[in-house]
Amino acid sequence: MAEPAGLPRENGRTLGASEAAGWASALLEEAVRLDREGRIAEAGDRYHAIIGAVATHGPALAEALRRMGVIHHRRNEPAIARDLCARSFEVASSLPDDRLAAEALNALAGFEMETGALERAGEIYRRALTLGRTSAEVRGRIEQNLGILANIQGNHGDALGHYERALEACRLAGDERGCAYAYHNLGMISADLKQWDKAEEYFRKSLHLAELLHDVRLHGLCLLNRAEVHLALQQYEHARRSAEEALAIFNELNAQLAKADAYKMLGMIFRETGRPALAESRLRTAIELAIATGALLSEAEATRELALLCQSMGRNQDALALLSTSYRLFGQLHAQVDQVDVASKVEELETTYLAVVRDWGQSIESADSYTHGHCERVATYALAVASELNLDEVDRTTIRIGAYLHDLGKVKVPHEILNKTAPLSPEEFEVIKLHPAWGLDLLSGIDLPWDIKPIIRSHHERCDGTGYPDGLQGNEIPLAAQLICVVDVYDALTTTRSYRPAMTKAEALVTMEDCRHWWRPDVFQAFLRAIGTVPTHISRAS
């Protein structure tokens, strides 16, 4: 009978099939040990020997194929990685060995997840779970991964269930490392759900196991994530100690990205405890480290935290510049991987953005007490007009931000001119006319995600060319600027000014009718329709 091709030879004699199986499983054991010790090249040689030599289908072959696939995946060779794991699945299925088939699918699903193909990853994980249901160890690993997947998709409840089942399976299998990771992930999800006491308990358990297992990296991660819990509970001293301990560990491991996150946490703690200079220094280090490792998410998050620090210090210009950068980074991340949790972070950031912009807008109003609430009202009216014109979400956000900041340049107008009760002299009016350009000066160097500069520059332009600063006519004026212009005039008329009392809505509309040629007909018509739908909260300075 012909011998199976490719069997190893020993002392000039080709090994029989059962001897070959023994040889392969011994070699596999050695390779797995080397792999765990980080001696990847040596492990790879042994996996290769098994893959090349054993022509018969055996469990060692299925396992060597999968493990080699994972090595190629780590080397960023996705096609080879996928091919090897797919072969591993075929070999395991033909044996049949459901546990090994499940492990192969688990690896393949992981590759899909990393490329952002989340639906596909979910399908493969579920198939793997069915095949691997009889092995608690495999089940534990797959449930853990399904939890990570659900978390990425923003399904916190599902993630929690998967992690709980992962923990149960790992306990059953006596897999302490699996339990340590399950506790860690349960801590993370509890923190996301703001269940701080539970989170603290899970991190404590994970930390305990990490110490027993000498898993230094996990130890550091638990400390860092615990610091977040302490911070949320305003236990600042605990938070600081945990974060500093984590930083020391990551430093020892030379784990740059984890260090960036530890620096970010320290920056947040110093910010919350009123030490802004230290906070800024730590957050800037976090940003530098994140940039050096190419970690977009960490960079985006640290930049956002620094923006919040600047906002708390009243440095609105810096806050807005940093928020713009963070917003762009989150956008890039979202384009790379369509993750729901990134989408929700972008949404959160938009809210922060609007808060900063509104703050800044309102700080301008305090320089001109007669216009208190002007920006907020202009924003409300402008959004109503935007709806009448069926503008899309991006335009609506642009208009809202533009409304808050349209008069930014007024901070540079002298107080006595801004609050003058008598009519302005021509010279004084010339000063007022500079506020659009001054507004742009304040935003120069800030790369805003929304195109609000045309609004700031042109919100006093009129269709008949009598406006300022450029005397634009008709459609030369950007639509958004026209829109702000019309609601700006309406709000000016319906509120008390230093030089006259407020008009009623009807009086204001009659006055505006007389100068309707200032605005594009479609904009003015939309304004008339909109103004009937918005409640007019007129604040009168008495």
Q: Give least dist CB 483 to Fe ion, A.
A: 13
Q: Give least dist CB 352 to Fe ion, A.
A: 24
Contact yes or no for 61/69 (Cβ under 8 A):
no
Token pair for 292: 């050096």
Selected range binding Fe ion among 221-229, 266-274, 481-489, 530-538, rule: CB under 5 A = 481-489
Residue 46 vs 459, nearer CB to Fe ion:
459
- According to CB under 5 A, which residues from 282 to 301 bind Fe ion? none
Closest CA to 300 of 336, 271, 259, 328: 328
Q: Give least dist CB 406 to Fe ion, A.
A: 6
Selected range binding Fe ion among 113-121, 159-167, 196-204, 480-488, rule: CB under 5 A = 480-488
Q: Give least dist CB 436 to Fe ion, A.
A: 7
If one asks whether residue 97 binds Fe ion (CB under 5 A), the answer comes out as: no
Q: Give least dist CB 520 to Fe ion, A.
A: 18
Residue 200 vs 407, nearer CB to Fe ion:
407
**Residues 122, 112: Cα–Cα separation, whole Å:** 9
Selected range binding Fe ion among 41-49, 148-156, 288-296, 483-491, rule: CB under 5 A = 483-491
If one asks whether residue 261 binds Fe ion (CB under 5 A), the answer comes out as: no
Residue 215 vs 407, nearer CB to Fe ion:
407
Contact yes or no for 176/213 (Cβ under 8 A):
yes
**Residues 461, 416: Cα–Cα separation, whole Å:** 25
Contact yes or no for 458/478 (Cβ under 8 A):
yes
Selected range binding Fe ion among 225-233, 274-282, 401-409, 525-533, rule: CB under 5 A = 401-409
If one asks whether residue 407 binds Fe ion (CB under 5 A), the answer comes out as: yes
Place of tokens 């072969």: 87
Residue 169 vs 455, nearer CB to Fe ion:
455
Selected range binding Fe ion among 56-64, 171-179, 484-492, 505-513, rule: CB under 5 A = 484-492
Which amino acid is residue 437, in one-letter code?
A
Residue 402 vs 449, nearer CB to Fe ion:
402
Contact yes or no for 7/20 (Cβ under 8 A):
yes
**Residues whose CB is less than 8 angstroms from the CB of residue 259 and which lie 6 or more positions away in sequence, other chains included:** 247, 250, 251, 289
Residue 9 forms beta bridges with which residues?
A: 14
The verdict on whether omega for the bond into residue 454 sits within 30 degrees of 0, i.e. cis, is no
Residue 259 vs 459, nearer CB to Fe ion:
459
Residue 105 vs 503, nearer CB to Fe ion:
503
Residue 69 vs 454, nearer CB to Fe ion:
454
Helix (H) / strand (E) element for 118: namely helix 118-131
Q: Give least dist CB 488 to Fe ion, A.
A: 4
Selected range binding Fe ion among 181-189, 257-265, 403-411, 462-470, rule: CB under 5 A = 403-411
- According to CB under 5 A, which residues from 303 to 342 bind Fe ion? none
Residue 261 vs 407, nearer CB to Fe ion:
407
Q: Give least dist CB 407 to Fe ion, A.
A: 4
Closest CA to 141 of 177, 88, 178: 178
Residue 63 vs 488, nearer CB to Fe ion:
488
Q: State whether residue 539 is helix, strand or coil.
A: coil
Number of residues near Fe ion (by CB under 5 A): 2
Token pair for 84: 């090897």
Q: What phi, psi does 328 have (nearest 5°)?
A: -65, -40
Sign for the CA dihedral angle at 282, 286, 288, 292 comes to positive
Residue 388 vs 488, nearer CB to Fe ion:
488
Closest CA to 320 of 438, 449, 437: 449
Token pair for 333: 């991340």
Q: Give least dist CB 351 to Fe ion, A.
A: 24
Residue 266 forms beta bridges with which residues?
A: none
Binding pattern for the stretch 357-396 against Fe ion, x by CB under 5 A and - elsewhere:
----------------------------------------
Q: Give least dist CB 459 to Fe ion, A.
A: 6
Contact yes or no for 132/98 (Cβ under 8 A):
yes
Token pair for 353: 């953005």
Q: Which of 488, 489, 490, 494 binds Fe ion (CB under 5 A)?
A: 488
**Residues 85, 142: Cα–Cα separation, whole Å:** 16
Selected range binding Fe ion among 327-335, 361-369, 400-408, 520-528, rule: CB under 5 A = 400-408
Rg (CA), the chain: 32
Residue 96 DSSP symbol: T
Q: Give least dist CB 433 to Fe ion, A.
A: 10
Residue 228 vs 407, nearer CB to Fe ion:
407
Place of tokens 């192969």: 104
Please give the residue ranges that form the binding site for Fe ion (CB under 5 A).
407, 488
